[in-house]
Structure 1
Amino acid sequence: MKPIFCICLLSLATLVATAQDKPAYRLFDQSGKEVSYGQMLKNSKKADVVFFGEQHNNPISHWLQIELAQDLEKESNGRLIMGAEMFERDNQSILTEYLNGQINTKSFEEEARVWDNYATDYKPLVELAKSKKLPFIATNVPRRYANMVYKQGIESLNPLTSEAKSWIAPLPIEVDMNLPSYQAMAKMMGGHGGEAATTNLVKSQAVKDATMGYFIAQNLKKGHVFLHFNGAYHSDLKEGTVWYVRKYAPGKDMVTISTVEQDNIDKLDEENLKKADFIICVPAKMTKTY
């Protein structure tokens, strides 16, 4: 067989293999350069806080969350703290009791108001924490208080009891209405319900962000990595919860991860550039967990 023919045959085989390849995701840095999972792990293990921004029903988000958690636990020799938007502050004691083996699975899952997709998407993370004896922090504000802000305004939090306030970031909560992410949220409202409703919606989001940021900051530990799981919109553009961690614990090294969906994942769409330090790009037709 002639050398030139061999080269052509090899090139054709490579082209066919590439055309048949169907990657479940590609990973990019904020500039759109493709990077490896190993690079994301390397940066994450040096950080004080890692924000893993998910799409709640995206299976690739959830698979990479447990992979990253397991790898960080190994790489840090157990110096890992986990926390999540999916657990509310008033359920911290129930969560801790379960991790310590004081209550059974049935009691925990019935009483902790776990999300509908808990069994498939978040239970592996909690079970990892339990098996490795890792702290797991419930960071989110109880949803009834976020709803209260949306309906009655942020001032409605002031008359709450001291116990209720212990589950919320310290009042008064500073809200920067000019943050691009909050501006985008207000724009999405399109004036529906009037200016007051739009303002309350943004402030209810800010109460969630502030509470998560505050309790992340309160549970940081020197030499440990805090891995936080949240909807990507809470940490995209290093705003939202990230903004509040900077306020409550200035100077900490933070890494952000976002998940986006695109029709074509060969290249990061311009609208997704700079969303995070690492951007997981998943095919838009990927199956969902719910």
Structure 2
Amino acid sequence: MRLPVLLLCLLAFAFRADKPAYRLYTPALKSTSYAKLLRQAAEADVVLFGELHNNPICHWLEFQLTKDLQAIRKGNLVLGAEMFEADNQTALSDYVQGKTTSKELAVQARLWPNFDTDYKPIADFAREQHIPFIATNVPRRYARLVSRQGLSALDTISADGKRQVAPLPITVDLTLPGYKAMMEMMGGTDGKAGAGQHGSQPDMTANFARAQAIKDATMAYFILQNWKSGQTVLHFNGDYHSKNFEGIVWYLRQKQPNLKILTLSSVELSDIEKPEVDNRNLADFVLAIPADMTKTY
């Protein structure tokens, strides 16, 4: 009789009674709930959902948050996403307004490869519920231009192109920790590289960070352009663009210091019950997901 009891004890130790797909934490890594996330999101002016692009839990929770916020804020919810570029706004609006089909949208807009599985459910819900959906990201050709030639290259684009970018000149602070860390990871030095016109390694590294910054600045600009007092903008973006309260957050604060912003940062952990110290203060809510979660691509 002792063997079965021992076996049961071993099984209880090795396998948990439940296998949650995610956990939510406060900035101090105290366990919190979806109900608190929803309540605070409904009270915010802007909600920045920092996703991991290929993570199904992120996309599922984005969809749930969209549906629940619509139920609370109906008529006062606006959606926005990094995954749609500003010059594709007409195509996105036509689809959400029911004027075109998904096949026409695929022809008219530069959709991400995982659109059908990860973002179409949200776009279809916006279509069904008549929720405005904003294409907030800078057209990739302009980000690519900055990464190769520096910020001054934006002065050469057409007047129509400039309407698809945050107003020039765009301030980029390369000493901000996120941009500085990006440059250090790429082999840069101290975030004080030159103007980026000569093709040296420091300039190329700094220009790559500047290209990320104009994405942040442009997303912040179009969020503010489409937000009105009393509304909530729910924005989907890669985690890098809003974690540590930087990126999009920094640019929003430059224009609207009193804006009520809520951020969520997504992390993958080997044990979601034990968040790591370096996950502290990433966002107002930290979304912990098992590292072995299946991917959408």
Q: TM-score, normalised by structure 2?
A: 0.91
- Name the counterpart of 2:252: 245
The within-5 A match list for 1:182-193 is 182-191=179-188
Residue 73 of structure 1 and its aligned partner are, at CA, apart by: 0.2
- Name the counterpart of 2:140: 143
- Name the counterpart of 1:162: 159
1:201-221 CA deviation, whole Å, 9 max, x = no partner?
111011100000001011111
Segments of structure 2 that go 5 or more residues without pairing to the other structure are 1-8, 190-199
- Name the counterpart of 2:193: none
- Name the counterpart of 1:107: 104
% of aligned pairs identical?
Answer: 49
Q: Is the 8 A contact 1:32 1:267 kept in 2?
A: no
AA partner of residue 52 (structure 2): Q
Task: For 2:274 and 2:236, locate their aligned partners in 1 and report how far apart those are by CA, in whole Å.
Answer: 25
Task: For 2:275 and 2:134, locate their aligned partners in 1 and report how far apart those are by CA, in whole Å.
Answer: 33
Residue 250 of structure 1 and its aligned partner are, at CA, apart by: 2.6
The within-5 A match list for 1:1-290 is 19-191=16-188, 194-290=201-297
Task: State the SS of the aligned residue for 2:156.
Answer: coil
1:39-72 CA deviation, whole Å, 9 max, x = no partner?
0001100000000000000000000000000000
Task: For 1:50 and 1:288, locate their aligned partners in 2 and report how far apart those are by CA, in whole Å.
Answer: 24
Q: Is the 8 A contact 2:188 2:206 kept in 1?
A: no
Q: Is the 8 A contact 1:78 1:132 kept in 2?
A: no
AA partner of residue 236 (structure 1): K
Residue 16 of structure 1 and its aligned partner are, at CA, apart by: 7.0
Task: For 1:210 and 1:28, locate their aligned partners in 2 and report how far apart those are by CA, in whole Å.
Answer: 28
Task: For 1:191 and 1:233, locate their aligned partners in 2 and report how far apart those are by CA, in whole Å.
Answer: 18
Segments of structure 1 that go 5 or more residues without pairing to the other structure are 1-11
Residue 21 of structure 1 and its aligned partner are, at CA, apart by: 1.4
Task: For 1:78 and 1:226, locate their aligned partners in 2 and report how far apart those are by CA, in whole Å.
Answer: 12
Task: For 1:256 and 1:219, locate their aligned partners in 2 and report how far apart those are by CA, in whole Å.
Answer: 18
Task: For 1:18 and 1:39, locate their aligned partners in 2 and report how far apart those are by CA, in whole Å.
Answer: 29
Residue 105 of structure 1 and its aligned partner are, at CA, apart by: 1.7
Q: Is the 8 A contact 1:89 1:139 kept in 2?
A: yes
Q: What count of residue pairs does the alignment treat as equivalent?
A: 281
Task: For 1:102 and 1:68, locate their aligned partners in 2 and report how far apart those are by CA, in whole Å.
Answer: 26
Task: For 1:24 and 1:16, locate their aligned partners in 2 and report how far apart those are by CA, in whole Å.
Answer: 20
Q: Comparing 163-172 with 215-224, which one deviates more in the overlay?
A: 215-224
1:202-261 CA deviation, whole Å, 9 max, x = no partner?
110111000000010111112111000000000001100111111122311000001100
- Name the counterpart of 1:4: none
Q: Comparing 233-242 with 243-252, which one deviates more in the overlay?
A: 243-252
Task: For 2:98 and 2:20, locate their aligned partners in 1 and report how far apart those are by CA, in whole Å.
Answer: 39
Task: For 1:168 and 1:135, locate their aligned partners in 2 and report how far apart those are by CA, in whole Å.
Answer: 20
Residue 17 of structure 1 and its aligned partner are, at CA, apart by: 11
1:177-212 CA deviation, whole Å, 9 max, x = no partner?
111001110111014961101110111011100000
Q: Are residues 159 and 268 of structure 1, via their aligned partners in 2, closer, same or farther at CA, if it must alter by over 3 Å?
A: same
Residue 18 of structure 1 and its aligned partner are, at CA, apart by: 7.3
Task: For 2:16 and 2:118, locate their aligned partners in 1 and report how far apart those are by CA, in whole Å.
Answer: 31
Task: For 2:100 and 2:123, locate their aligned partners in 1 and report how far apart those are by CA, in whole Å.
Answer: 14
Residue 161 of structure 1 and its aligned partner are, at CA, apart by: 1.1
AA partner of residue 22 (structure 2): Y
Q: Is the 8 A contact 1:213 1:248 kept in 2?
A: no
Residue 104 of structure 1 and its aligned partner are, at CA, apart by: 1.9
Residue 32 of structure 1 and its aligned partner are, at CA, apart by: 0.3
